[in-house]
Amino acid sequence: MIRDEAPDQTIAIQKFDESETLPGGRNGTNDMLNLISKFLEAAGNVLLIQGPPGAGKTTLALELLRRVQATRMGSTVVPPARFYVPSRVSPNKLRKHFPWIHEMHDPLSKNTSRDNSMKGSAEIRVSEADDVFNKVLTLKRSRLRGLMVIDSWEGALRNTSEDGRRMIESAILSDPDDNRVGVVLVSEGGRVGDLPNLVDGIVTLSSSELDGRRLRTIVVNKLRGQRVKSDRALFSLDKGKFKLLPNTQFESDSSKRPHILSPVPHTESFFSTGSQDLDIMLKGGIRKGSSILIDVNNTVPTMGVRLLLRIINANFVNQGGFSCIVPFSTVSSENVAESLRPIIGETTFNERVRIMEYNQELPPEKWRVLLKGNPLDDFTLFGKIWKEVETDSSSIILAIDLDKLVQIYGDNLMLPSLANLGASIRDAGAVTLAVASEPNKIREAFLRTADYYLKVESINDTMVIYGVKPFTNVHGVEFAFDRGYPSLRLTEIV
């Protein structure tokens, strides 16, 4: 930990190879935060973070401070210098809002203050906002490797003249190749002058709405010397930390053999979706004997919804439940079978899964139910199957693509037998899960009685889901395959 003995440590650091750094805090080469952190490692780079009040600028700046890496030479490790110069938030408030920041002192000041009760921290030093000019120069001359955040730029210039502003700009922007310190300037768009033209990088944070729910977006306007593949992403400020929502990936490592999915247990009143995060979003899971509509925007890749349904169906079946599936119009019963079979097992699949199929040329299978496309005949056959299922299982899910029903039977499918079947499903305590992407009469009729109503969209290559019934915030969707089968994680945007 760097204490007040900065000169001695400065001499040590000057002997280190700058290319040798400690690993830490980075998750994947395509992470935008990794790219920004790498940019700030370059000698003397200055980053401007801009955005309206409450956009998350301070939280991002502190996250970038946390990510600064130590240097080492052989077995000797020298922690980096992390300095936060606030002009808007007092140190006490900073610790209250960001409890993960512990020790707070300014190693460049004689009036240091240590809080031993908050030891073992991110080691961020909080400096007084006065005399920014001399602090910047002192830090540069110290030859410490690290990062300084000035929050905010307007606050640092509050009592300065125009000549004073130029002096501070010169102190920050001069000699970029001769110092080891990156600088982050936080701005709310006030007194910045030509600063956007002088700094090396700019990121903009913004907050918008999606159906009355908050969305947070980060945009990389420029990062000099860096190749920016994706210039925008969604993020969350949950628990006082800057959490970037990654692009949703739908493919697993094909070299890994899938395992039987480990189910998330149902409770006495609720069926689990197979994702603890989604259960929490739904206030406990899906209540037994209820119906749920998932409205899918046309921006969402089909594979994203298929993975979601695969997890839910497998979680039912692997707890002794039964699943009846009417697949997407572009997906065959064979394709659904191939995706489900490895994560529930061959025997279980044949015994507890039934998939509807309208292609009469496909060979008969125990799990395949061949339908003719005639409403009366098909619903009579399905009713018989349902009665058999009711006697074999206490947990049943019926997953239906409503667009498929419209494609096969037309938009005026309002048969009494369909209503009776729906009542029978509720009485059995089963769950009806319907997916729709287009407005039609069947969807509207289903929505009128649905107990749950979710919407799914894709924004900046991130799949998001949120509840209309019950009302929820927007959640970013992340699929993982690290256990040998698909799992679902959600990040709430707050």
| pLDDT > 90? residue 291 | yes
The more confident residue out of 246 and 2 is 246
pLDDT given at position 153: 80
Helix, strand, coil proportions of the chain in percent (round to 5)?
35, 25, 40
Residues 6+ apart with CB under 8 A from 80: 68, 69, 70, 71, 144, 145, 146, 147
Total domain count for the chain?
2
| 257 within a domain of the structure (yes/no) | no
pLDDT tens column, 300-338: 999 999 999 999 999 999 999 999 999 988 899 999 999
Which pLDDT score, from 0 to 100, does residue 87 have?
A: 74
Whether residues 223 and 354 share a domain: the answer is: no
CA-closest candidate to residue 462, choices 235, 228, 227, 203: 235
Q: Which two tokens stand for residue 493?
A: 């945007």
Percent of all residues in the chain with a pLDDT value above 70, rounded to a whole number: 78
Residue 256 lies in a domain: no
Highest mean pLDDT among 284-288, 404-408, 438-442: 284-288
Instruction: Name the pLDDT band for 89 (thresholds 50, 70, 90).
Output: low
Q: Same domain for 87 and 204?
A: yes
Range of the domain at 366: 270-492
- Same domain, residue pair 423 and 478: yes
Which of 244, 279, 310 is the endpoint of a domain? 244
pLDDT at residue number 190? 64
Residues 401 and 464 in one domain: yes
Per-residue pLDDT, averaged over 374-387, amounts to 85
Q: Distance between CA atoms of 51 and 217, rounded to whole angstroms?
A: 10
Q: Do 309 and 427 belong together in one domain?
A: yes
CB atoms within 10 A of CB 482: 9
Is the pLDDT assigned to residue 97 strictly greater than 80? no
Same domain? For 113 and 53 the reply is yes
Q: What pLDDT digit, counting tens, does each position of 226-262 carry?
A: 888 889 999 999 988 899 998 998 887 666 778 899 9
DSSP string computed for 345-409: -HHHHHHHEEEEE--TTSPP-SSEEE--S-HHHHHHHHHHHHHHHHHH-S-EEEEEEHHHHHHHH
pLDDT at 12: 30
Using the predicted structure, report yes or no on whether residue 30 has a pLDDT greater than 70. no
> Average pLDDT of 479-492?
93
Mean pLDDT in residue range 341-357: 95
Same domain (yes/no): 89, 26: yes
The predicted pLDDT at position 215 comes to 97
Residue 113 confidence (pLDDT) above 70 = no
Q: 71 with 188, same domain?
A: yes
- In this structure, the strands spanning 396-401 and 368-370 are unpaired
Q: Per-residue confidence at 155, pLDDT binned at 50, 70, 90?
A: confident
Q: For residue 239, is it within any domain? A: yes
pLDDT at 84: 83
Helix (H) or strand (E) holding 295: strand 291-296
Could you tell me if 235 and 274 lie in one domain?
no
What is the radius of gyration, based on Cα positions, of the chain? 29
Residues 186 and 66 in one domain: yes
Q: What's the pTM?
A: 0.84
Residue 347 has pLDDT above 60, yes or no: yes
The whole-number pLDDT of residue 150 equals 87
For the cut 60, the answer to whether the pLDDT of residue 438 exceeds it is: yes
For residues 205 and 218, is the Cβ–Cβ distance under 8 A? yes
Per-residue model confidence (pLDDT) at position 91: 65
Give the containing element (helix H, strand E) for 232: strand 232-236
The reported pLDDT for the residue numbered 375 is 85
In a domain, 262, yes or no: no
pLDDT of 111 > 70? The answer is: no
274-295 mean pLDDT? 96
Is residue 7 predicted with pLDDT exceeding 90? no
* pLDDT exceeds 90 at position 392: no
Q: Give domain status of residue 321, yes or no.
A: yes
- CA-CA distance, 369 to 358, in Å (whole number)? 8
Pick the range with the lowest mean pLDDT from 118-127, 204-213, 454-463.
118-127
Judged against a pLDDT cut of 80, whether residue 449 lies above it is answered with yes
Of 3, 43, 8, 10, nearest to 141 by C-alpha is 10
Taking alpha carbons only, the member of 457, 320, 491 closest to residue 389 is 320
Residue 67 lies inside a defined structural domain of this protein: yes
φ, ψ (nearest 5 deg) of residue 54: 80, 5
Q: Are 367 and 481 part of one and the same domain?
A: yes
Query: Span 440-460, mean pLDDT?
Result: 93
Question: Region 81-108: what's the mean pLDDT?
Answer: 64
Question: Tokens 């018989």 — which residue?
Answer: 384
In a domain, 334, yes or no: yes
Which residues make Cβ contacts (< 8 Å) with residue 187, sequence separation at least 6?
A: 48, 49, 50, 57, 152, 153, 154, 195
Lowest mean pLDDT among 262-271, 291-300, 324-333: 324-333
Question: Which residue would you say has higher pLDDT here, 465 or 422?
Answer: 465
Q: Which of 200, 226, 244 is the last residue of a domain?
A: 244
CATH number of the domain within which 157 lies: 3.40.50.300
Domain identity same for 363 and 236? no
Is 90 exceeded by the pLDDT of residue 391?
no
Listed ranges 105-114, 179-188, 232-241, 424-433; the one with the highest mean pLDDT: 232-241
* Whole-angstrom distance, CA of residue 148 vs CA of residue 85: 7
Q: Is the pLDDT of residue 15 over 60?
A: no
258 assigned to some structural domain: no
* Mean local confidence (pLDDT), 336-341: 95
* pLDDT confidence of residue 101: 61
Bigger pLDDT: 78 vs 351? 351
